[in-house]
Structure 1
Amino acid sequence: MRRSASLQSLLFYGLSGPIVALNVWLLSVLFGYFQHPITILSFAAILAFLLNYPVKLFEQARISRTQAVIIVLLFTLTLFGILGVTLVPMVIDQTIQLLNKIPNWLTSSQANLVQLEAFAQQRRLPIDLRVLSNQINASIQNFVQHLASGAVGVAGTLLSGLLNFVLVVVLAFYMLLYGDRVWYGLINLLPSKFRIPFAKSLHLNFQNFFLSQILLGLFMVVVLTPIFLILKVPFALLFAILIGISELIPFIGAALGIGTVTLLVLLQNWWLAVQVALAAIFMQQIKDNLLAPRLLGNFIGLNPIWIFVAILMGYEIAGLLGTLVAVPIAGTIKGTFDAIKGSKQGDFMSTVTIPHDPENSSL
């Protein structure tokens, strides 16, 4: 009997690895075929999750759900319109200027390398920077060619982005109105013991995770923009927004954003790059140690190693979209299995410690 049980356990663990790898491969293939509709649906679902908070607040004020959805949607479109008229043109202008200046910055960095090599040769130091210099030359040429080829499709890219934005808003509107029917229809396809834990865990992890990450990203943008302006950092607003957007990717996003901005400033002025890095890291520590615990709570039972694995797998399957949803998906899986192991079907653990609203069941 024991031998049979050990054999079953060995077969289970031995086959689980190939099965998981096969499922990951199938998901990546399916995403490759249906990348555009999946991306649109995913961003629409995330927007619907976020807008469901103010919709519920209006419903508590005895306003019908349809009227609440219309009010929230109009307010959201107004906010996006104000940002599109004021902030977006500034960001686009700074982006174009940055792309035009990067080749010059690379050229100046190459000159600095030549001076460093000459300094080393005078003191008979064994430093040969010719390979690195040649790589910088090749990078400059490739970058200029890429800009020349990409400039032709700028208008088409903006038009496509506007169309995608309209599709996301329209889908989010219908998800807020009729998402319950589709949601409960999909939930009913699951085994009975999975339905309630999965629904609650998915709702908490996705809605509250993205809301918290967006608030943390806005904090970084708001505090870093004046700091960069005081330091006279070129393209201060663009660099602050880049770091803020990178906050949407948990754990590694902040490091990637700060590292990218520091590297770009380093091409122009190494001392300014040091100040930028110190200021950004200092504000990041305030965010991580004071604000993030209040918004996100503690990641319960989800080892940081598995979080990194989830992010890497998400990127491999769906690129940037996969990195954004990897952690809440991992938290949903963890919360669902915690609920199944618990004594009651309705009890579950979420990776984000927040109060639960039993009436908030939309989407």
Structure 2
Amino acid sequence: MHRSASVQRLLIYGLGGPIIALNLWLLYLLFRLFLHPITIVSIAAILAFLLNYPVKFFERVTLTRPRAVIIVLLVTLTLLVILGVTLVPMVIDQTIQLLNKIPDWLATSQANLEHIEALAQKRRLPLDLRVVSNQINANIQSLVQQLASAAVGFAGTVLSGVLDVILVVVLAFYMLLYGDRVWSGIFSLLPPYIRFPLSTSLRLNFHYFFLSQILLALFMVVSLTPVFLILKVPFALLFAILIGISQLIPFIGATLGIGLVTFLILLQNWWLATQVAVAAIIIQQIKDNLLGPKLLGDFIGVNPIWIFVAILMGFEIAGLLGTLVAVPIAGTIKGTFDAIKSGKEANNVT
């Protein structure tokens, strides 16, 4: 009897694994097929989630929810228009200038390598940088071709981006008005022992994560911009914003952004690149050791190894959007399972 139960259990596990893997694969294919609309809906949901806090504030001031939603959206659109008129043109202008300068910077780095190789030969040092020099030359030609082709599709990309922004704002508006009904309907399909811990964990993880990441990104931009201006870094505003945006990618984003900016400046001036790297790392340490723990706390509680695995899987499945939501989703899953486990243990004790 015991042997037959063991065989039955092995059959269940053996057949269940491939079935689960097949279902996950089908879900992945469906996700990739509808990636663009899913991305639009996800961004709108995140925006509505963040805007729901000021909406609740206005509701406490005896305003009805529709009026509070309209006020918050009008203020948000006003801020976006102000940024679009002031900051965005500056960033676009610096981006275009940077793209035009990169080939010259690569040529300068190639000349510097040739100079270093000549000095090494005079001192009879076994240093051969011809492979690196040829690779840089090939990168220059490839980059010029890519910039020329990218300029052709720039207008279409901008138009598509504007339409996506309009869709996101409209969806966020309706989510703020009717999102509670939708979420209540979805969660009502789940049994109570899953519904309550899942909804609580989802709300807390996304709340703390996105608010903290946005505040930390703003801190990096505001702190690095004057430092870069003092150091006379070319494209100071663009590089500061690049590092700040990369901060939205959890744990590794700021490091990747600092590394990219340092590399771009290194093509032109190695001493300036060293100063930029040191200044950015100091500010990053302040952010990670002083501000980060206070804003983030231990709300996730996921092992760092699993966090990196979640980020890699999120990027593979949904690109940049996947990296942004991978950590709060991982925290939500862990928080839900912990709550269910603790509830079962409490019931067993009683």
Contact 1:302 1:334 in 2 (8 A): yes
Q: CA deviation at 1:298?
A: 1.6
1:85 correspondence with 2:89: no
State, as a whole percentage, how many aligned pairs show the same letter.
Answer: 77
Q: Which consecutive residues of structure 2, in runs of 5 or more, have no partner in the other structure?
A: 346-350
Contact 1:28 1:316 in 2 (8 A): no
Deviates more, 1:189-198 or 1:267-276: 189-198
Contact 2:205 2:300 in 1 (8 A): no
- Please give the alpha-carbon distance, in whole angstroms, between the structure 1 residues aligned to 2:140 and 2:17: 44
Q: CA deviation at 1:31?
A: 2.8
Structure 2 residue aligned with 1:57:
57
Q: CA deviation at 1:8?
A: 7.7
Q: CA deviation at 1:4?
A: 7.4
- Please give the alpha-carbon distance, in whole angstroms, between the structure 1 residues aligned to 2:190 and 2:247: 33
Structure 1 residue aligned with 2:263:
263
Structure 1 residue aligned with 2:38:
38
- Please give the alpha-carbon distance, in whole angstroms, between the structure 2 residues aligned to 1:15 and 1:308: 30
User: TM-score, structure 1 length as denominator?
Assistant: 0.90
1:216 correspondence with 2:216: yes
Structure 2 residue aligned with 1:357:
none
1:244 correspondence with 2:244: yes
- Please give the alpha-carbon distance, in whole angstroms, between the structure 1 residues aligned to 2:15 and 2:310: 20
Contact 1:224 1:240 in 2 (8 A): yes
- Please give the alpha-carbon distance, in whole angstroms, between the structure 1 residues aligned to 2:159 and 2:118: 50
Give the letter aligned to residue 67 of structure 1.
Answer: R
SS in 2 for 1:265: helix
Q: Deviations over 1:263-307 (max 9, x none)?
A: 011011001001101111101111111111111112553100000
Structure 2 residue aligned with 1:68:
68
Contact 1:216 1:292 in 2 (8 A): yes
Structure 2 residue aligned with 1:156:
156
Give the letter aligned to residue 236 of structure 2.
Answer: A
Contact 1:46 1:207 in 2 (8 A): no
User: Which structure features the higher share of helix residues?
Assistant: 2
Q: Deviations over 1:118-177 (max 9, x none)?
A: 122222222221111111111111111111111011111111111110100110000000
Give the letter aligned to residue 201 of structure 1.
Answer: S
Q: CA deviation at 1:5?
A: 7.9
- Please give the alpha-carbon distance, in whole angstroms, between the structure 2 residues aligned to 1:144 and 1:28: 36
SS in 2 for 1:343: helix
Give the letter aligned to residue 223 of structure 2.
Answer: V
- Please give the alpha-carbon distance, in whole angstroms, between the structure 2 residues aligned to 1:292 and 1:90: 29
SS in 1 for 2:153: helix
- Please give the alpha-carbon distance, in whole angstroms, between the structure 2 residues aligned to 1:131 and 1:9: 60
1:310 correspondence with 2:310: yes
Q: Deviations over 1:46-98 (max 9, x none)?
A: 10010011011111122111111111000000000000000000000000000
Structure 1 residues 183, 156: CA separation in 2 closer, same or farther (over 3 Å shift)? same
Q: CA deviation at 1:251?
A: 0.5
Q: CA deviation at 1:241?
A: 0.2
Over the aligned positions, Cα root-mean-square deviation in angstroms equals 2.2
1:1-363 aligned within 5 A: 22=22, 25-343=25-343
**Greater RCO (Cα-Cα under 8 Å, separation 6 or more):** 1
Give the letter aligned to residue 252 of structure 1.
Answer: I
Structure 1 residue aligned with 2:348:
none
Deviates more, 1:206-215 or 1:320-329: 206-215
Q: CA deviation at 1:15?
A: 7.4
Structure 1 residues 336, 132: CA separation in 2 closer, same or farther (over 3 Å shift)? same
User: TM-score, structure 2 length as denominator?
Assistant: 0.93
Structure 1 residues 195, 94: CA separation in 2 closer, same or farther (over 3 Å shift)? same
Aligned length, in residue pairs: 346
Structure 1 residues 222, 173: CA separation in 2 closer, same or farther (over 3 Å shift)? same
Structure 1 residues 113, 38: CA separation in 2 closer, same or farther (over 3 Å shift)? same
- Please give the alpha-carbon distance, in whole angstroms, between the structure 2 residues aligned to 1:309 and 1:12: 28
Contact 1:24 1:317 in 2 (8 A): no
SS in 1 for 2:55: helix
- Please give the alpha-carbon distance, in whole angstroms, between the structure 1 residues aligned to 2:240 and 2:230: 13
Contact 2:205 2:299 in 1 (8 A): no
Q: CA deviation at 1:10?
A: 6.9
Structure 2 residue aligned with 1:355:
none
